[in-house]
Amino acid sequence: MGKRELNAPFSREALTRIDASMSDGGEADESIKLNATAAEVAYQYRRDTIAPVMVSGLMRIVEFSLVLLSGLTIFVAYVGFYTYLAYIYPLAILAGSLLYVLLMEMSDGYQIMALRHPARNLGRLAVSWIGVFALLALAGFVLKVSEEYSRLWFIAWFCTGLLLLVGLRLILARKIRGWARNGTMERRAVIVGGGKNAEDLIRSLEQQPDNDIRICGIFDDRDNRRSPPIVAGYPKLGNVSELIEFARIAHIDMLIVSLPLTAEGRVLSMLKKLWVLPVDIRLSAHTNHLRFRPRAYSYIGSVPMLDVFDKPINDWDYVAKRAFDIVFSLLGIAVFSPVMLLTALAIRLESSGPVIFKQQRHGFNNEIIKVWKFRSMYIEQCDPTARNAVTKNDPRVTKVGRFIRKTSIDELPQFFNALAGRLSLVGPRPHAIAAHSHNVLYNEVVDGYFARHKVKPGVTGWAQINGWRGEVDNDDKIKMRTEFDLHYIENWSLWFDLKILFLTPIRLLKTENAY
C-alpha cells in the first residue's frame, strides 16, 4: 500500500497559485441545481460498478484457492494422512498453487482482456499449468524424493486442476460480458470541454477494441454558440460548476479534460474547480503535438492521457482500509466497552435525555452522514447543527460532558460509526454541516476545503494528533486543519493509518484546546 501523491503535470500547490481573478471554484454551491436531463443521467449512474482491477485481483485469489483445494482434496482422498510425507504433500501443493499464479501473472493472464476472451488465452494457461508440474517434477528429481510421491496423485491433480481452471475462466468470461452489457463492470467517464477536441477524443475512444469506458456526458463552460449541445451523439449536460453537483450524485470514475495544453489558463481554471472530486482526472493528449516520453502517459486502448489527479484510496486500497476499520473497530469496542458503559451511566445520572447525541456531518464526497457521540450538553441546549461551537467554560456543557470532552471519551461511540462504514477510523475529521468561523462557513474560508471529502472522514486524523483540534476561533485554525487533512489524503498508506491510530491516545493527553 504505497504512498499516494498528486501526479505531474499539476499539483495542489500549483492550482492554489492560479490568479485570483479566475472563477472561484472547487466547492459545492448549494444553489446549483442540475437541469432535468443532467439529473436524469446522474441518477441513472448512481449505482456502483465493479472495477476491472477488482475482478482480476479476485481471480488470482479464486484460482489460487481452486488449485490448492483440488490438490489437497485428491491428497486426502487417495494418499491420506497415514504417510510419513503427510506434512510434505501440503507444502508441495502450496508451492505449486503459488507458482501457478506467479506464472500466470508473468504472462499477463490476469489482464481483463485475457479474462474476457479465454479461448484466445488458453495456451498461456496450459503452458503455465504444465510449467508448474514440470518444475515440481524437476525439484523432486534434484532432491531425490520423486519416487516417494504418488504418481496417481500427481496426474490426478494435473488433470483435475486443468479442467477446473479452464471451466472457471469460461464461466467468468460469460459473466464479464454480461456485466459489460448491463453496465455493472465499466469505467464511467465525463468529458470536460466540448467542440472539435471532444468529438475527436470520443471518436478515438469508440474505435478502441473492447473499450470499457462509458461516456456519461459532456460538461463545458462555453455557451451553445461556441460549444454545441450535442457532440458525437453525447449531450452537453451543463457547465463545470454543475459537473461538481453531477459527480456528487452519479458514480463517476474519471473526468477527461479535452482541452489543448496550449489553453493553459482555461485548463488550470477547470482543474481548480474539479480537483476536490474523488475521481481520476486525466488530460487528453491525443491531439497534442507536444509529445512526452511514453511512460509519462496512461492509455485507454491506444489513446494517450496525462494523469493529473488519481482517486485516493481506490480498489484494493479501499478493501484493505475497510478491513483495517472493521478489525480495529471490533478491537476498540471490546477494549473500551467497560468505559462506555460507565460513561453512559454517568450521563444518565447527571442529566435527563438520551445518552447518545446524533449529529449531521459532511461525509465522503460531500454526502450528509449522521454520526454518534456521547451527549456532553444539557439536552435542551444541544446544538445538532453546531452553529455555535463549544467554547471554554461553555455553560451548555455538563460536568460529565466537560470531562469526557477533555479526555475524548465522548468519541468512543465512533467505533460503531466506523464499523457501520459511515466513517473510517483514520481520516479527515468530519465537520458539522453548519460549522463556521466568524459567521463564515468553512468552505468559504478555505479554498479547496471540500477536497477533505475525497475520502471517508475519520474518528481521528493527522490534523488532530498534530494539535489541530478543539475550538476554531480564527480562520488560520481551519486552514491548518485542512492543510494537514490534504497531506494525509495525498500520502495515505496503511502504515500511516496505523501510526496515527497508535499516536492518538498519546497526543490527546495534550488537552488545552479541547473544551
Task: Provide the β-strand partners of residue 359.
Answer: 371
Per-residue pLDDT for 507 more than 80? no
Task: Provide the β-strand partners of residue 148.
Answer: none
| Per-residue pLDDT tens digits for 399-443 | 888 888 888 888 889 899 899 888 899 988 887 766 555 444 555
Give the pLDDT score at 214: 86
Per-residue pLDDT for 148 more than 50? yes
Residues with Cβ < 8 Å from 337, sequence gap 6 or more?
Answer: none
Q: Which domains does the chain have, with CATH numbers?
A: 12-49+186-309 (3.40.50.20), 52-182 (no CATH), 316-507 (no CATH)
Kindly report which listed range (78-87, 99-108, 402-411, 415-424) carries the lowest average pLDDT score.
Answer: 78-87
Distances from the Cα of 6 to the Cαs of 28, 262, 365, 492, in angstroms? 22, 22, 18, 11
Helices and strands, counts by H and E, the chain: 17, 14
Give the pLDDT score at 140: 77
Residues with Cβ < 8 Å from 172, sequence gap 6 or more?
Answer: 55, 59, 115, 118
Give the pLDDT score at 439: 44
Q: For residue 395, is the peptide bond before it cis, meaning its omega torsion is within 30 degrees of 0?
A: no
Give the pLDDT score at 386: 60
Give the pLDDT score at 157: 92
Neighbouring C-beta atoms of residue 207, cutoff 10 Å:
11
**Mean pLDDT computed over 26-40:** 69
| Per-residue pLDDT tens digits for 355-403 | 888 888 878 887 888 888 888 888 776 666 566 666 666 778 888 888 8
Q: In which band, very low, low, confident or very high, does the pLDDT at 448 lie, cut at 50, 70 and 90? A: low
**Mean pLDDT computed over 30-39:** 76
Place of cell 503427510: 86
Q: In whole angstroms, give the CA distance from residue 244 to residue 275.
A: 10
Closest CA to 364 of 441, 435, 282, 458: 458
Residues with Cβ < 8 Å from 16, sequence gap 6 or more?
Answer: 447, 448
**Mean pLDDT computed over 2-16:** 40
Per-residue pLDDT for 12 more than 60? no
Cα torsion 352, 356, 358, 362: sign: positive
Q: In which band, very low, low, confident or very high, does the pLDDT at 104 lie, cut at 50, 70 and 90? A: very high
Per-residue pLDDT for 292 more than 80? no
Residues with Cβ < 8 Å from 78, sequence gap 6 or more?
Answer: 150, 152, 153, 156
Give the pLDDT score at 19: 39
**Mean pLDDT computed over 13-42:** 57
> In this structure, what C-alpha cell is assigned to residue 355?
445518552
> In this structure, what C-alpha cell is assigned to residue 143?
532432491
Give the pTM.
Answer: 0.74
**Mean pLDDT computed over 80-108:** 85
3-state secondary structure 106-167: HCCCCCHHHHHCHHHHHHHHHHHHHHHHHHHHHHHHHCCCHHHCCHHHHHHHHHHHHHHHHH
**Mean pLDDT computed over 336-364:** 86
Amino acid at 29: D
DSSP, collapsed to helix, strand or coil, labels residue 65 as helix
Q: Say if residues 212 and 50 touch (Cβ distance below 8 Å).
A: no
Q: In which band, very low, low, confident or very high, does the pLDDT at 9 lie, cut at 50, 70 and 90? A: very low
More confident of the two residues 391 and 111: 111
Ranges of beta strands (E only) in 399-442 are 424-426, 436-437, 440-441
Q: In whole angstroms, give the CA distance from residue 41 to residue 267.
A: 25
More confident of the two residues 15 and 152: 152
Per-residue pLDDT for 175 more than 60? yes
Give the pLDDT score at 66: 94
> In this structure, what C-alpha cell is assigned to residue 177?
460480458
Give the pLDDT score at 5: 35
Whole-number mean pLDDT of the chain?
A: 79
Give the pLDDT score at 98: 95
Per-residue pLDDT for 464 more than 50? yes
- Give the relative orientation of helices 316-350 and 399-406 as an angle to the nearest 10 degrees: 150
Q: In whole angstroms, give the CA distance from residue 133 to residue 157.
A: 10
Give the pLDDT score at 53: 82
Q: In whole angstroms, give the CA distance from residue 104 to residue 111.
A: 10
